[in-house]
Amino acid sequence: MLTPPRTVVRRDAGLYALERALQRRGFRHVAGADEAGRGACAGPLVAAAALLPEGRRGEIDGLADSKLLTPASRERVYEEVVARALAYAVVVIPADEVDARGLHVCNLAAMRRALASLTTRPEYVLTDGFPVDGLEVPGLAVWKGDRVAACVAAASVLAKVTRDRLMVELDGRYPGYGFAEHKGYITAEHTAALREHGPCAEHRFSYVNVAAVSGRDGRPPRSRRPVVADGHEPMERSGRSGGTVGVALGEQPRPPAPVGEDVVMEGGVR
């Protein structure tokens, strides 16, 4: 039996070249997965998966790595991805789960769940940076995948816009930290606010900089909350229950549910 020739895709061949090459090899449904919030010390970790249609319908004007887009451009591209995708899914991991399970474990689990939640089963999976096992379909981890593969870029936009919206909501709940501006990342302004106010319920106490201002002498605690002298937690919960929360699923041609109007909520409330 003849072995098919090896396919070589140049990194400068364009955002859709890798998916088109896989589709020519028989993998019609190529899904991408990415996350937002790995480097933040406050707020949730958000992962998303997207499966774009073949051909021109799957080509979205302005689609790129979400970090390279302006907020207005991300919102516009987000709406296009939701409208055009064959399927998409977004999964939110709360800060307390990141503390309990660890960032990398939560990151892989969230991408795995997002991909498994796609209502159109992918035949091949592309992920940004990290390989994800247990998918039961072939896959490839692509370095800077959100700048190389359209489906990964689409997932990055879904994750980023979802997380940014959540952080704006948290800014109203926890004023004084500037979550609406820096989205929980370790900026100079956020560091100053942490020193002035201490951590809130949405900070990740397993992060060294948060642990340092929580009375643990810079040592990341194993548990979600530091213990204080009177035996009570220093902050009250915001009312959101623990556990992984799936915030959006979508499928075409059915009108997709916008992020925040959940099709599936596991461990959460509407």
Q: What is the CATH number of the domain that holds 34?
A: 3.30.420.10
Residue 262 inside a domain? The answer is no
Measured distance CA(266)–CA(270) in Å, rounded: 10
Measured distance CA(160)–CA(152) in Å, rounded: 12
Residue 17 inside a domain? The answer is yes
pLDDT at 237: 29
pLDDT at 219: 54
Residue 62 inside a domain? The answer is yes
pLDDT at 180: 97
Which residues, other chains included, contact 160 with Cβ-Cβ below 8 Å and sequence gap of 6+?
Answer: 36, 46, 66, 67, 74
How would you classify the pairing of strands 139-142 and 45-51? Answer: unpaired
Contact of 30 with 44, CB cutoff 8 Å: no
Residue 39 inside a domain? The answer is yes
pLDDT at 67: 85
Nearest residue to 143 (alpha-carbon basis) of 130, 132, 153, 129: 129
Residue 236 inside a domain? The answer is no
Is 128 annotated as a binding-site member? Answer: yes
Measured distance CA(265)–CA(259) in Å, rounded: 12
Mean pLDDT, contiguous 10-residue spans, the chain (270 residues): 49 78 93 95 97 90 87 95 96 96 95 95 92 90 88 96 97 96 96 95 94 69 44 32 42 33 25
pLDDT at 236: 29
Contact of 16 with 150, CB cutoff 8 Å: yes
Residue 266 inside a domain? The answer is no
Total number of residues shown for the chain: 270
pLDDT at 266: 26
Number of domains in the chain: 1
CA angle 60, 18, 36 (to 5 degrees): 60
Nearest residue to 17 (alpha-carbon basis) of 155, 156, 145, 159: 145
Whole domain around residue 119: which residue ranges? 11-161
